[in-house]
DNA sequence: TAATATTCTAGAATAAAATTCTAGTGCAAG
DNA sequence: CTTGCACTAGAATTTTATTCTAGAATATTA
């Protein structure tokens, strides 16, 4: 049994818990220190500063999501399956990683201004391009409606995102899982050919 | 000519400029003090603390938006007009108040945890109820598709919101004004009967 | 209008938080 | 061994938020 604590991981877990309970801005390094049992020096050694912790959690969290999404898209046989996969994949990810998702909604702006902001922009662009790559054949086959290209993402995932955001913050109650089908139906009506 | 400076207003303007340029967390009271020309004491007199400034800007900004939205809904003759009004009203508001909108996207969580969080929740509930009030007759007349009630908002405004958010942060370029029609079309396909 | 209260402004003083610095500890490669 | 390096600890410093005290401006009222 390996009981050597992994400090970096402990710090990350303490941080995300604090961020969600208190909010990012209101979380002090000292709160993270206390909760994780690490020392100040240790925290700064691993992450540089508070922003560094936020950026690390954010970028790795997003990676996890995009990995799932792209895998799902790859399996989709046609446009409708692809669109439905994007919606359900999004909702399932939020459900499976609630704390992370809640955190990510709050951290976006912070990260985009941080030292890692450029990296985020880069990843974002790559991921989106990869996703749109799957769309091209569907578009050519006329399975998808012709729309301004920058709109597809917002039309397909926007409603699920908006709903999940509200759900994670407690503003609405209905379990997102029960809404996957209506959300996917609506997304398909919005962009389907 | 009345050249007496309104300190409160000067502080608010300096604050929103700083928040947008530096981010809320990275904006120090001192930055606001310098930019507004007010003193620390004055700032704390008017707003209590930094959170107070954020909450004030946020709540008043939202009020402005909801006022427009409810006015637009009131004029809508049928469901389709109502849905289209919700979309265009949203986009027009973002375009007309870019700095405020950008700020509001970032401040939501902060405000909901602040002393004014309860007030926000309250207003939110009222506004949503008022908006859904307009929907009732349309639903009864079958002009709107039957859907889980908590979904209408996300389906209609979600995509516009997601797009505007990306546009305000520079991730996408196409002028939102040119997308009002496709966004409204899609919203109507999503919820129209 | 003078007296009095209230709101507002200023900036120094204090408290709280972030970050840096110095000094280790323990482990792995040679 | 012993040298180098990643890691940890916590004190010291710097930066930032907030509080406090006092005085100026403005409104209120007798």
* pTM for the model: 0.95
Please, is B26 exposed, middle or buried when counting C-beta atoms within 10 Å of its C-beta (0-12, 13-18, 19+)?
Answer: middle
**Residue owning tokens 């007030």:** B119
Q: Which of residues 12-41 of A touch strand C (CB under 7 A)?
A: 27-30, 40-41
Please identify every stretch of chain B with a pLDDT value under 50, giving residue numbers as ranges: 1-2
- Which residue's alpha carbon is at the shortest distance from the C1' of D25? B4
- Which of B186, B76, B59 is closest to B135 using CA atoms? B76
Whether B158 and A153 lie within 8 Å, measured CB to CB: no
Q: Given pLDDT bands bounded at 50, 70 and 90, which one contains residue A193?
A: confident
Residue A2: predicted pLDDT: 41
- Maximum alpha-carbon separation in chain A: 59
Nearest nucleotide to B11, CA against C1' atoms: C9
Residue A132: predicted pLDDT: 87
Residue B1: predicted pLDDT: 38
Task: Give residue-wise pLDDT tens across range A55-84.
Answer: 999 999 999 999 999 999 999 999 999 999
- Which of A106, A111, A116 is closest to A169 using CA atoms? A106
Tokens of B48: 């209590």
Residue B7: predicted pLDDT: 93
**Enclosing H/E stretch for A157:** helix A152-168
Alpha carbons A81 and A56: distance in angstroms, whole number: 33
Helix (H, G, I), strand (E, B) or coil at A4: coil
Task: Give residue-wise pLDDT tens across range A151-163.
Answer: 999 999 999 999 9
Mean pLDDT value across residues A119-130:
94
Tokens of A24: 């990012």
pLDDT at A8 over 90: yes
Q: Are A131 and A68 in contact (CB under 8 A)?
A: no
Closest residue of A to B125, CA-based? Answer: A171
**Residue owning tokens 């003090």:** B33
Alpha carbons B60 and B177: distance in angstroms, whole number: 24
pLDDT at A49 over 90: yes
Residue A185: predicted pLDDT: 98
Please, is A169 exposed, middle or buried when counting C-beta atoms within 10 Å of its C-beta (0-12, 13-18, 19+)?
Answer: middle
Selected for mutation to probe chain B from A103, A156, A162 (highest B CB count within 10 Å) is A162
Task: Give residue-wise pLDDT tens across range B108-153.
Answer: 999 999 999 999 999 999 999 999 899 999 999 999 999 999 999 9
Whether A161 and B160 lie within 8 Å, measured CB to CB: no
Whether A155 and B159 lie within 8 Å, measured CB to CB: yes
Residue B73: predicted pLDDT: 96
Alpha carbons B169 and B187: distance in angstroms, whole number: 23
Mean pLDDT value across residues A5-15:
94
Q: Separation of CA A6 and C1' C28 in angstroms? A: 18
């Amino acid at each position: 049994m390996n009981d050597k604590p992994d400090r970096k991981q402990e710090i990350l877990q303490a941080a995300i818990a604090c961020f969600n309970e208190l909010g990012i801005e209101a979380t002090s390094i000292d709160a993270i220190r206390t909760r994780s049992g690490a020392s100040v020096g240790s925290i700064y050694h691993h992450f540089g500063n508070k922003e560094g912790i936020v950026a690390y959690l954010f970028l790795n969290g997003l990676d996890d999501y995009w990995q799932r999404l792209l895998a799902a898209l790859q399996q989709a046989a046609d446009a409708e399956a692809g669109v439905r996969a994007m919606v359900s994949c999004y909702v399932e990810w939020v459900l499976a990683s609630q704390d992370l998702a809640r955190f990510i909604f709050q951290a976006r702006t912070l990260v985009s201004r941080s030292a890692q902001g450029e990296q985020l922009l880069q990843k974002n662009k790559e991921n989106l391009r990869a996703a749109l790559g799957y769309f091209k054949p569907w578009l050519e086959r006329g399975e998808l409606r012709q729309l301004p290209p920058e709109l597809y993402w917002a039309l397909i995932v926007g409603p699920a995102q908006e709903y999940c955001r509200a759900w994670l913050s407690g503003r609405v109650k209905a379990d997102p899982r029960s809404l996957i089908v209506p959300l996917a139906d609506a997304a398909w009506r919005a962009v389907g050919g």
